[in-house]
Amino acid sequence: MKKIIAIVFGLAVVSCAPSKSIKMDHTTTVKETEKVDAKYIGPKRRIGVVEFENKTAYGQKRLGQAASDILITELVKSEKFIVVERDRLEKIMAEQKLQQQGTIDPMTAVKLGQILGLEAIVIGAVTEFGVKKEGSDYLITQSKQQVAEVNVDIRVVDVQTGQVILADSGKGITKSKKASFLGMGTKGGYDETLEGEALRAAIVKFVDNIANQLNKKPWSATIADAYGDEIYLNAGSNSNINNGLKLSCFKQGKEIRDPKSNLIIGYREEYLGDFEVIRYCGDSGDCSIAKAVKMEQTPKAGDICRLKK
């Protein structure tokens, strides 16, 4: 009996060392989304992300804001996109008295795209969020963990047509494990880091699918100004535009609608000519100058240019 007491007492003394009495472990599970494959075409894509809706009973607006911020961060880190900040989008939406917080309709997306020269807008929602506790109690040790699960849905809207070109869902599961010995350790209140980790786990897989879906269509830029035989584009060094890049430019006219669905499927276009990028302009990194190689009509602000085939 004395030996048993001595062993227990010895273990208790060892457990008093803070560095050894607590064990914390975070594990994250990502649900794979369906892969959308397409060959990369052209420089960085210019897109916008609006604030996501929070359709859960948890966190009020915070979850939606956090989800859209995480997606913006991941898109920028991928180095495949020029992302218009959410605050700038919301400012334009307020000025134009457009809808906010993920409820953008196709026509709103088209109008925002025209104003900001975007190729696509990402809208989304946090549809599920929950935290539960799991664990076991033994004579000497306790093991507890918090498990956070989140589901996020996104839609990518083509601002030329207003059509949804990608709908995707992601699920993230994050666990925080805490252990104690003879009551000496972590009791464990709510671990706030779980929230962000679960959201990031749900969102991180979206980036490649957004890029691959957009790469199915030719890269384009908007003409911001024109003078003589030169045009000024809303894409520069930040978009990986290089001198010598060859472009074909067009004036867009009336939209073309599907007679059955009434959805916009394209625009009437008039060929303006071929141009070649010759240098950057300004210090923003979002401006380059292209010189006419062949010009059949005079370009103006608002016309578009695509990579020459």
pLDDT digits (tens, 9 = 90+) for 235-278: 999 999 999 999 999 998 998 998 988 888 888 999 999 999 99
Q: What residue has token string 């394209």? A: 266
pLDDT of 126? 92
Domain 220-307: assigned CATH number: 2.40.10
Measure the CA dihedral 3/8/14/18, to 10°.
Answer: -170
| Of 69, 52, 46, residue with least CA distance to 120 | 46
Q: Which of 214, 234, 222 is nearest to 122 (CA)?
A: 214
Intervals of CATH 2.40.10 along the chain:
220-307
Res 131: pLDDT = 77
The CATH 3.40.50.10610 domain(s) of the chain lie at 23-214
- Residue-level pLDDT at 152: 95
Q: What is the pLDDT of residue 194?
A: 78
Tokens 């996109």 label which residue? 81
Write down the CATH number for the domain with range 23-214.
Answer: 3.40.50.10610
Q: What is the pLDDT of residue 39?
A: 54
Bridge partners, residue 128, by sequence: 151
Residues of the chain with pLDDT under 70: 1-42, 98-104, 133-144, 177-192
Structural tokens at position 224:
């911001």
In the prediction, which pLDDT does 143 show? 54
Q: Which amino acid is at 40?
A: Y
The single residue listed with the structure tokens 């900001």 is 116
Return the pLDDT at 121: 92
pLDDT of residue 38: 54
**pLDDT of amino acid 196:** 82
pTM listed for this prediction? 0.74
